[in-house]
Amino acid sequence: MTGQAQALHADALRVELDADDGVVRAIDGIELAIARGRTFALVGESGCGKSMTALALLRLLPDNGRITAGEVRLGAQDLLALPEAAMRAVRGGRIGMIFQEPATSLNPVMRVGDQVVEAIEAHTVLRGAAARAKAVEWLARVGIPEPERRIDDYPFRLSGGQKQRVMIAMTLAAEPDFLIADEPTTALDVTIQAQILELLAQLQRERRMGLLLITHDLGVVAGMADDVALMYAGQVVEAASARDFFAVPRHPYAQALLRALPGQQRRGRPLEAIAGTVPALTQAFAGCRFEPRCAAAMPHCAHQPPRLLQVAPGHEVRCLLYEAGGARPAHRAAAAAVASAVAPAPPGPAAAHADQAAPADPLRAEGAAAAALLQVQGLRVGFPIRRGLLQRTRGVFQAVDSVSFEVGRGRTLALVGESGCGKTTIGKALVQLLRGQARIEGRALLEGRDLFALQGEELLAARRDIQIIFQDPFASLNPRMRVYDLLEEGLLALAPTLDAGARRTRLERLTDQVGLRRDALERFPHEFSGGQRQRIAIARALALQPRLVICDEPTSALDVSVQAQILNLLRELQRELSLSCLFITHNIGVVEYIADEVAVMRAGRLVEQGAADQVLGSPAHDYTRTLLAAVPRLTGAAAG
């Protein structure tokens, strides 16, 4: 078949990496075929082998890695047999690649336009002024504002998101037949993400480009992919058309991942997190690799490795439930029930979802009438713009302008908007991180005390009452301190009257509350996974028994299964401790799941706020509508 003949194939591919603790079998016999004009999505948690697959296809494995078996073919061409010089021409030529980290891919001492022009001249017939005009066109297509001017900027003048877009422009400008994109839009705002994804889809239509899309965002997959392969522990465990994968996910891991996603239809109920973590790939597996985490595991799963079997036309699954004699009828029924439970909810008014959602959540049942814990009134935050040798102040950048909102007792207000809109600045201003750096006007009343006017003892008390949890738990935890010392630090500074015994008792109770073992207190941050580190950060924030917690994108660096654990934990703690929460995020699924009220920010101002059901279900402002429309959704697959 012509499509297959032109496809990018991996056959029985195996990759090994040397590590301190042995040989990591990162990819263990995968088969893929990405046809021209189609999007093939590779999904799964971090550590499952998705990115390593991309690197292997391009022969870009790290120095400690090697392909030990299998083939990679581009049409009839054996890519593993090509000399490196020929392979270099394939990379960036017939096969383009976009990786998540743009900083390492752009040359810092070369203007961005020259880098795009270089790609155009290397791979198309355009030269000189024509190539430059084309570069401007590409920069515009990827959403760089004022491309005629920005084309002469050096990379350091661009934001992270803009660098990512320049890199995408450079890659697409070479007009590749295939594109391997590893989390291409993860660092971008949702409206820019929508623009880039639309551009990729358009190029596919126009040029029949084949796309291998690696992402953890199942909403993006649902909206973009024709075919899906789910990886677990170095193997493909389910492969199907996107439509079948989302309509009837068969593998227990696929079902669990989809159930772990937050969203409106799951409000008021705990998310179903997947226990445990992806296993180390240094071990030899006797049975199913997912067995320790599988809710449907049977006794023989631990010692019988499942094969990848076709269970329906074009739908393959690696699970003993589907092997002859492997599944008892009850298991099949359970699998079918789970499949229907995770099928996307039909589109409809938000209020309808909320009504179905649920048995009562006591916090939500209290209603919006609860008295405000925090009242922010006319908040303005301005940063001085300094220029010249003497760094004289030349003006003020108004990051937050006339913002007013309230957070009720025991309630969650989600502050949403794109990066740079001022949401994080509000969080930092409230926890007093901007004192001395920014001009802050307006009032923030915490139970009647104006946070910005407090001094001395009163300020100390207010600092205890508001704590913040950041996105990157690793960056916010000092790597040289034991967890006990990290948690105790705040207590020593802000609750100096507690004696050592009382401090230890409080910290031990906290580790229980956030679901860590007590011996975690004696260990260092690097010994924990991302999700565990975020639990430590949450424990540190709660050590001072705050009234209000500001969560600044606390789950955006985490896999969906870990995100589910953290969101469940935050909900439980909120219920137990009657905490109020200001939740800063760009993830609308998380907002739908967790927020009582929503405030939408754009360019430093609030454009809309109100009850979550109302703002998300019947947005009044154009910008809110644009933001919501740009969110990739699973319903897209079902509808499509």
Question: Which residues would be at the binding site for ligand SF4 (CB under 6 A)?
Answer: 252, 288, 290-291, 294, 296-298, 301, 306, 319-321
- Specify whether the CB–CB gap between 409 and 373 falls below 8 A: yes
Is the Cβ of residue 55 or residue 342 nearer to ligand SF4 in the bound state? Answer: 342
Is the Cβ of residue 178 or residue 322 nearer to ligand SF4 in the bound state? Answer: 322
Strands 372-387 and 439-446: antiparallel
Is the Cβ of residue 129 or residue 284 nearer to ligand SF4 in the bound state? Answer: 284
Is the Cβ of residue 317 or residue 468 nearer to ligand SF4 in the bound state? Answer: 317
Nearest approach, Cβ of residue 232 and ligand SF4 (Å): 9
Nearest approach, Cβ of residue 178 and ligand SF4 (Å): 31
- Specify whether the CB–CB gap between 387 and 573 falls below 8 A: no
Nearest approach, Cβ of residue 626 and ligand SF4 (Å): 41
Identify which of 25, 19, 87 has the alpha carbon closest to the alpha carbon of residue 57. Answer: 87
Nearest approach, Cβ of residue 181 and ligand SF4 (Å): 29
Nearest approach, Cβ of residue 295 and ligand SF4 (Å): 8
Is the Cβ of residue 214 or residue 320 nearer to ligand SF4 in the bound state? Answer: 320
Distance of CA 576 to the CA centre of its chain: 28
Instruction: Count Cβ atoms within 10 A of the Cβ of residue 319 and give its class: 0-12 exposed, 13-18 middle, 19 or more buried.
Output: buried
Is the Cβ of residue 274 or residue 579 nearer to ligand SF4 in the bound state? Answer: 274
Is the Cβ of residue 288 or residue 562 nearer to ligand SF4 in the bound state? Answer: 288
C-alpha neighbours within 13 Å on the C-beta side of residue 103: 5
Strands 95-98 and 8-19: unpaired
Is the Cβ of residue 138 or residue 232 nearer to ligand SF4 in the bound state? Answer: 232
Is the Cβ of residue 224 or residue 317 nearer to ligand SF4 in the bound state? Answer: 317
**Largest interatomic CA distance in the chain:** 79
Is the Cβ of residue 266 or residue 293 nearer to ligand SF4 in the bound state? Answer: 293
What is the spatial distance between Cα 236 and Cα 42, in angstroms, rounded to a whole number? 9
**C-alpha dist (Å) from residue 487 to 462, 465, 494, 510, 517:** 19, 16, 12, 9, 14
Is the Cβ of residue 174 or residue 257 nearer to ligand SF4 in the bound state? Answer: 257
| Angle, CA 340 vertex, CA 337 and CA 343 arms, to 5° | 150
Nearest approach, Cβ of residue 244 and ligand SF4 (Å): 18
- Specify whether the CB–CB gap between 505 and 459 falls below 8 A: no
Nearest approach, Cβ of residue 533 and ligand SF4 (Å): 28
C-alpha neighbours within 13 Å on the C-beta side of residue 353: 21
C-alpha neighbours within 13 Å on the C-beta side of residue 151: 21
Nearest approach, Cβ of residue 335 and ligand SF4 (Å): 9
For the residues of 521-539, what is the DSSP string, one character each? GGS-GGGS-HHHHHHHHHH
* DSSP tag of 89: H
Nearest approach, Cβ of residue 297 and ligand SF4 (Å): 4
Is the Cβ of residue 38 or residue 251 nearer to ligand SF4 in the bound state? Answer: 251
* Residue 348, token pair as written in the block: 């409809």
Is the Cβ of residue 320 or residue 566 nearer to ligand SF4 in the bound state? Answer: 320
Nearest approach, Cβ of residue 15 and ligand SF4 (Å): 23
Is the Cβ of residue 281 or residue 294 nearer to ligand SF4 in the bound state? Answer: 294
What is the spatial distance between Cα 209 and Cα 168, in angstroms, rounded to a whole number? 14
Nearest approach, Cβ of residue 290 and ligand SF4 (Å): 4
Nearest approach, Cβ of residue 253 and ligand SF4 (Å): 6
Amino acid present at 452: F
Nearest approach, Cβ of residue 320 and ligand SF4 (Å): 4
| Angle, CA 262 vertex, CA 168 and CA 238 arms, to 5° | 70
* Residue 602, token pair as written in the block: 């754009």
Identify which of 225, 282, 550 has the alpha carbon closest to the alpha carbon of residue 415. Answer: 550
Which secondary-structure segment (H or E) carries 259? helix 252-259
Neighbours of 461 (CB within 10 A): 13
What is the spatial distance between Cα 197 and Cα 225, in angstroms, rounded to a whole number? 11
* DSSP tag of 605: E
Neighbours of 153 (CB within 10 A): 16
Bridge partner residues of 395 (DSSP) = 385
Nearest approach, Cβ of residue 300 and ligand SF4 (Å): 8
User: End-to-end alpha-carbon separation of the chain, Å?
Assistant: 26
